[in-house]
Structure formats: C-alpha cells, structure tokens
Structure 1
Amino acid sequence: MQKTVLIVEDEFLIAMDLKSILERQGWHVVGPVASVAAASRLLERELPSVALLDVNLGDELVTPLAERLSALGVPFAVASAYDRPELIGGAVLAEAPNVGKPTQEARLVIALARLLESR
C-alpha cells in the first residue's frame, strides 16, 4: 500500500516541518492545507492512506473533517498540545493517536505507520 498522508495544519512553519519529516520517511504528502474546506477539496481528488490533523484551525475546529475521514474509512492522528483533544474537538477524536505538539519525529512516524497497518 502506498504511504499517503493528508496534513491539515494552519501554522505554516509547522506544516512545512511535518511535510519535510514525512517525505524524508518515504511518505507522499497530500497538502498540507490549513482549513477544513481546503482539505475537503483535496479529498474529492485523492483519498490518502492516513491523515494528520491539527485540532484548532484558526477559527474552526477540525471536527467535521475528522467525521468525514471516519466515514470514508481513513484513519487519522492528531498533532495537538492538548492532553485530551476530544474535549476540544469532540468524541470523533477520542480514539485518534495524539503525536503531540511539538511533534517528535519518531513518535510521528510510528503513529502513522500503525495507522497504515490498521487499514
């Protein structure tokens, strides 16, 4: 299975860092994008293997996108400084691994690899 990951992160430098890390590890990165609407447009063109989501995207939460990914069968992780992102973004985030923010490369790669294996 091809390793494709959708990155949804509204902070440009963090998004570029995540993209760089994952591309070095052999992932094909879709995005990154900074909003639910932009991510939804990408999903209409390409369905990634997994997704990495920031919980807060400016003035919106990633919750509607997480619900859509769940309905499409795309597993996702969150990159959040919150200990319990589900308290902010809702129950759909409760089972998602949280790679933290800032994200450690090894933790990120392991979490996404496990999601890929779960497909």
Structure 2
Amino acid sequence: MLKSIVELDRAANALKLLGDKTRLTMVKILKQRECCVCEFQEVFEMSQPSISQHLRKLKDLGLVKEERRGQWIYYSLNQQSDLYGLIDDILEHVPVQTDKIKQIEKSNPTLRCGC
C-alpha cells in the first residue's frame, strides 16, 4: 500500500495530540470500533465535556470523524485522512484495548444515555 507524505506541521500536530495518553487510547479504541461519548465516559471516568474536548481536538485535525444518529454522535477513525497512514503505523505499537472494549460492551452505557 502506498503511503502518503504528510506535511511536517500536520504530522507534528498529530503526534502532539497523540502524546496524550487518553487521546492515544481513544484512537486505539476507535481503530477497533466506533464509540459515542457516553461509551468513552465509561472507560475513562471523565465528564462528558472533557471527553468531548478530547474528541473535538482529534476531529479538528481530521483524525476522527463523526456520524450523527438522532441526537447522538458516534465517532470513528477517519481512514480517509492524509494522516491515517502515520496514525495506523503508530497504533501498531500500542497495546490492543480489548479490556476497555469489553468494559464498554458489558456495561452498555448506550442503554442509559439513549444513544
């Protein structure tokens, strides 16, 4: 697969964003499945505004995309981003987040929040 060369400033911004453990973990989870804010709240034990702020930063750089379903928004990794190849390479070196995904699926927070 041909990988694109990313502008230096964009690569630096992506690496800066992924330097945060929470955002790096979010992106690794999104590599495996889409999530809504309430599902991330379950895993990170953070407020909705804090989770939304992390996701906004990732979305602003184009690393994640959102899809509105009714009044809720689901987030996924943006595979069309020019940064995807770089992010995908980094994620190869990050542990899978199976435990966190199982935690989401077990607690099923979308039933409580109505997503």
Instruction: Give the structure with the larger helix fraction.
Output: 2
Instruction: Give the structure with the larger strand fraction.
Output: 1
- Fold shared, TM-score > 0.5 on shorter chain: no
With the length of structure 1 as denominator, give the TM-score of the two structures: 0.31
Higher relative contact order, structure no. (Cα contacts within 8 Å, ≥ 6 residues apart): 2
